[in-house]
């Protein structure tokens, strides 16, 4: 009897338990409501209405109109939004009081609405307020006030664009950023290359260097106002650091050979670069504070184009150690070198995404150039662009957009060539040319400087 | 004795196995199922091909697909294609020696506006700019304009989901006071056919803009529960099942995905071509917005 109990009681309990569970499940499934899986939708850009910001006077009206132009341009260029034609607006901008007539905006299929107002403070500063409305939910999603100098309205427009982008995509924006690049002019034989800087949308272009010395490969510091680049100052190719605020520049280290392909580490306190000696290039890391130098690679091949992962743990670079130019990943110490590119053709200029999830690269295959991305383990290779010559990808700070430069071939008389900056979405869509004053190459995207919060 | 117990245990085990594998079959049989299915499958193709929203029903003025159908015509307002007037170029373009200091216009930080009680944040942080440091002060606006938009805000802050209880623009001739039914009501009518379900799905899919902007958007599956009136309109605002996650810091991408789903539903309502006789089947629907196949996840 004891034995029976010992075995059967737990079994009976188990059985009862199972039956109870199954009964509940069966009852529940009988009661379940209708369920529908929605697995398809549009990838169309979101329709958004941005009526002119109301100005308190004629001057403010001009500013408000121009700001809306900048904001619309930013959102439209992102490929994720479609600013609606102001002609379709039913409710006039100056009639929008504290609360828009949402029905009017639903009628023109706007899903989001941006309203704003521009006034001048007593002290002469501009006061810009904006609100982002959910047209279907009929509520405010975002609302901010900015104060600024009147001539600084453009930056405020970028800040507002970022707020809208962030609220509607859940991803950080990238409009309040700048591009440093190499501006090219002159004939092919006597090419003048100068460092230049502009806003992300091509506005406010100006030069940083005179053009007496050739410059190449500028890179932004992720944390400071500095740019590192290669200059042929006095015909000695060396890596320099340029401070945007002071205009100071200094050579980085005193190396016996040519230094090139510099790039900041994500923390901004060191620069990784190549040093060429006797036909061999290896990768070195220099701490900017202590000026200590560490050698990361030691092979008889050409190792160059190093780029850190955002967590500082790994470095990707390209090397011809395997016979052709390919992409490798190693630990930041230089250990565990692994090749990750195995497709046809050559791979160059790997750049780690600020998100960390992808590495962008230039691919050369059968005489054509491609910009592509792959995961850090080498899987998931996707080519985003193709042309006669696409090169030098740089990431937007949110890791959604790549900028690169594209060279057009010149004809037999040497005419028609030139290079321009282009951007492309990570999806491979939405390729656009960035307007520059002349020929441009080697773009580098600045980080997004976050607004100080709190206080 | 021992053998008897083991035998007994083995028999019980068999009973349990039968129970485990038998019961689901039973539960299936309880549903009034199979015979209706072949009958309903016949019209599937023709139903599924039906245009999704033939014409909006009369009583609902809320969604009129055509913008120009509005009686109030868009005024030929001098819509501003932003003319590029003298966009103030803050600095002259310097073009001289290599190291190029700018900042001639560097102005001292302006005194903070003392008058404002709110927190005031200066913006001129580490900005890679040659131009003089921008002096921008930002503060969240909500505080400022609480009075103006208090109604909205309180709604938003307190309770986002049941915000518009009154069907705002729905005219009187729709039955207003349907109880927001729970699933406890016995379902007596015939099951929804595949084509009927397809019709609802097709309507929603036309309205849904997949949130492609977010990182790992393909992982953001959102479940939304909706309650419908017999005319196909929403009886109450859609409920995101995991609404807590929407408010979690760091889950902005999920919030974005959930908002896109809710927007799709609100854009699509009222739903068309619903079988009136099966209202108890579709008065409550759980929609599962799953972008994985769209975004190649």
Beta carbons of A38 and B119 less than 8 Å apart? no
Beta carbons of B183 and A31 less than 8 Å apart? yes
| B87 neighbourhood in chain A, CB within 8 Å | 66, 154, 203
Quote the pLDDT of residue A377. Answer: 93
A333 in reach of chain B (CB within 8 A): no
Beta carbons of B102 and A247 less than 8 Å apart? yes
ipTM for this prediction: 0.71
What is the side-by-side strand order in the sheet with A432-434?
A390-395, A401-408, A418-425, A432-434
- Rounded-to-integer distance, Cα B285 and Cα B233, Å: 12
What tens-digit pLDDT sequence spans chain A (455 residues)? 555 566 667 666 776 766 666 555 544 444 457 899 988 888 888 999 999 998 889 999 999 999 999 999 999 998 889 999 999 999 887 777 778 999 999 999 899 999 999 999 999 999 999 999 999 888 899 999 999 999 889 999 999 999 999 999 888 899 999 999 999 988 777 889 999 999 999 999 999 988 888 889 999 988 778 899 998 888 888 899 998 888 888 888 778 888 888 999 998 889 999 998 877 899 999 998 898 999 999 888 899 999 999 999 999 999 999 889 999 999 999 999 999 999 889 999 999 999 898 999 999 999 999 999 999 999 989 999 999 999 999 999 999 999 999 998 877 776 677 899 999 988 888 899 999 988 999 999 999 865 544 33
Beta carbons of B5 and A40 less than 8 Å apart? no
Minimal CA separation from A112 to chain B, in Å:
10
| A80 neighbourhood in chain B, CB within 8 Å | 212-213
Q: Nearest-CA neighbor of A264 among A272, A276, A254?
A: A272
- Nearest CB among A18, A155, A169 relative to B19 is that of A18
| A37 neighbourhood in chain B, CB within 8 Å | 201, 287-288, 290
Quote the pLDDT of residue B96. Answer: 32
Number of A–B residue contacts, CB under 8 Å: 339
Q: What is the separation of C-alpha B4 from the centre of its chain, rounded to a whole number of angstroms? A: 62
What tens-digit pLDDT sequence spans chain B (297 residues)? 578 888 888 888 888 877 766 655 554 444 444 444 444 444 344 344 444 444 444 443 333 344 443 344 444 443 333 333 333 333 333 333 333 333 333 333 333 333 333 333 334 334 333 444 445 555 444 444 444 444 444 444 444 444 333 333 433 343 444 444 444 455 567 788 888 888 889 999 988 988 776 666 667 889 999 999 988 889 988 999 888 888 888 888 888 889 989 999 998 888 888 888 888 888 899 999 988 777 654
Beta carbons of A171 and B284 less than 8 Å apart? no
Quote the pLDDT of residue A454. Answer: 35
Q: Identify the structural domains of chain A with CATH numbers, from first to last.
A: 46-169 (3.40.50.10070), 178-445 (2.120.10.30)
Task: Annotate A377-398 with b (16+ C-beta within 10 A) or e (fewer).
Answer: ebeebebbbebebbbbbbbbbb
Task: Give, for B196, the enclosing helix (H) or strand (E).
Answer: helix B194-207
Would you give the DSSP letter of residue B190?
A: P
Minimal CA separation from A307 to chain B, in Å:
21
- Rounded-to-integer distance, Cα B260 and Cα A192, Å: 50
Minimal CA separation from B209 to chain A, in Å:
5
Q: What are phi and psi of B48, to 5 degrees?
A: -65, -25
Quote the pLDDT of residue B4. Answer: 84
Q: DSSP letters along B62-83, please? A: S--S-GGGSSSPPP--------
**Nearest-5° angle of CA A432, CA A435, CA A441?**
85
* CATH code for the domain defined by B194-297: 3.30.1150.10
Quote the pLDDT of residue A233. Answer: 85
Beta carbons of B208 and A41 less than 8 Å apart? yes
Quote the pLDDT of residue B54. Answer: 41
- Rounded-to-integer distance, Cα A445 and Cα A181, Å: 9
Quote the pLDDT of residue A24. Answer: 52
- Nearest CB among A62, A147, A166 relative to B85 is that of A62
| B284 neighbourhood in chain A, CB within 8 Å | 33-34
pTM beyond 0.80: no
Minimal CA separation from B210 to chain A, in Å:
6
A213 in reach of chain B (CB within 8 A): yes
Sorted by where each begins, the domain ranges of chain B are 194-297
Quote the pLDDT of residue B138. Answer: 52
Half-sphere exposure of B236 (CA within 13 A, CB side): 20
In terms of CA atoms, which chain B residue is nearest residue A426? B213
| B67 neighbourhood in chain A, CB within 8 Å | 88, 107-109
Q: Nearest-CA neighbor of B280 among B203, B189, B154, B200?
A: B189
In terms of CA atoms, which chain A residue is nearest residue B255? A170
């Amino acid at each position: 009897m004891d034995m029976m109990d010992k075995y059967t009681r737990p079994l009976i309990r188990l059985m009862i338990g199972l039956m109870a569970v199954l009964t509940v499940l069966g009852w529940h499934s009988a009661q379940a409501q209708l369920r529908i899986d929605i697995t398809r939708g549009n990838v169309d850009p979101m329709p958004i209405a941005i009526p002119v910001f109301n100005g308190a006077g004629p001057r403010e009206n001009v500013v408000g109109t121009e700001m809306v132009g900048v904001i619309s341009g930013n959102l439209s260029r992102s490929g994720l939004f479609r600013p609606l034609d102001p002609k379709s607006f039913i409710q006039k901008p100056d009639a929008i009081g504290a609360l828009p007539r949402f029905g009017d905006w639903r009628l023109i299929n706007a899903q989001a609405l941006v309203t704003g107002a521009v006034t001048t403070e007593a002290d002469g500063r501009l006061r810009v307020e904006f609100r982002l409305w959910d047209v279907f939910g009929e509520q405010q999603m975002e609302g901010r006030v900015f104060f600024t100098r009147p001539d600084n309205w453009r930056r405020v427009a970028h800040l507002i664009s970022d707020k809208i982008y962030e609220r509607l995509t859940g991803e950080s924006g990238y409009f309040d950023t700048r591009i440093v690049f190499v501006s090219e002019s002159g004939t092919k034989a006597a090419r003048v290359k100068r460092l230049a800087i502009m806003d992300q949308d091509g506005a406010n272009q100006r030069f940083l260097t005179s053009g007496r010395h050739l410059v190449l490969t500028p890179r932004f510091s992720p944390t400071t106002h500095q740019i590192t680049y290669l200059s042929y100052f006095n015909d000695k190719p060396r890596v320099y650091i340029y401070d945007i605020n002071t205009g100071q520049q200094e050579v980085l280290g005193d190396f016996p050979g040519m230094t090139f392909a510099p790039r900041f580490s994500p923390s901004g306190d060191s620069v990784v670069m190549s040093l060429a000696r006797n036909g061999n290039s290896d990768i070195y890391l220099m701490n900017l504070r202590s000026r200590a130098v560490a050698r990361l690679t030691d092979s008889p091949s050409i190792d160059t184009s190093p780029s850190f992962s955002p967590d500082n743990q790994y470095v990707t670079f390209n090397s011809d150690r395997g016979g052709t130019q390919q992409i490798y990943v190693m630990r930041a110490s230089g250990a565990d070198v692994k090749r990750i590119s195995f497709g046809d053709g050559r791979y160059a200029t790997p750049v780690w995404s600020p998100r960390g999830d992808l590495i962008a690269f230039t691919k050369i295959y059968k005489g054509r150039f491609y910009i592509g991305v792959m995961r850090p383990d080498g899987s998931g290779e996707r080519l985003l662009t193709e042309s006669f010559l696409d090169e030098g990808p740089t990431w937007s700070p949110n890791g959604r957009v790549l900028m690169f430069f594209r060279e057009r071939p010149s004809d037999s008389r040497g005419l028609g060539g030139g290079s321009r900056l282009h951007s492309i979405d990570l999806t491979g869509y939405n390729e656009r040319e960035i307007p520059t004053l002349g020929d441009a190459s080697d773009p580098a995207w600045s980080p997004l400087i976050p607004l100080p919060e709190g206080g | 004795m021992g053998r008897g117990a083991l035998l007994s245990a083995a028999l019980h085990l068999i009973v349990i196995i039968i129970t485990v594998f038998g019961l689901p079959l039973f539960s299936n049989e309880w549903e009034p199922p199979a015979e209706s299915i072949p009958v309903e499958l016949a019209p599937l193709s023709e139903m599924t091909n039906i245009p999704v929203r033939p014409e909006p029903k009369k009583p609902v003025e809320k969604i009129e697909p055509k913008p120009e159908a509005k009686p109030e015509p868009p005024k030929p307002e001098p819509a501003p294609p932003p003319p590029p007037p003298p966009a103030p170029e803050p600095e002259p373009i310097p073009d001289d020696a290599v190291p190029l200091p700018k900042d001639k216009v560097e102005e001292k930080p302006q005194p903070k506006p003392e008058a404002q009680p709110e927190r005031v944040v200066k913006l001129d942080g580490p900005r890679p700019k040659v131009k003089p440091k921008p002096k921008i002060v930002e503060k969240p606006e909500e505080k400022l304009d609480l009075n103006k938009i208090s109604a909205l805000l309180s709604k938003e802050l307190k309770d986002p989901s049941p915000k518009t209880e009154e069907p705002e623009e729905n005219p009187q001739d729709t039955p207003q006071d349907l109880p927001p039914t729970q699933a406890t009501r016995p379902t007596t009518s015939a099951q929804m056919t595949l084509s009927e379900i397809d019709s609802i799905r097709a309507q929603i899919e036309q309205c849904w803009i997949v949130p492609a902007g977010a990182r790992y958007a393909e992982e953001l599956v959102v479940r939304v529960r909706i309650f419908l009136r017999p005319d196909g309109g929403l009886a109450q605002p859609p409920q995101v099942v995991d609404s807590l996650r929407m408010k979690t810091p760091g889950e902005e991408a999920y919030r974005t995905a959930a908002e896109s789903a809710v927007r799709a539903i609100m854009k699509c309502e009222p739903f068309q071509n619903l079988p009136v006789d099966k209202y108890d089947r579709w008065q409550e629907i759980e929609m599962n917005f799953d972008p994985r196949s769209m975004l190649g996840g």
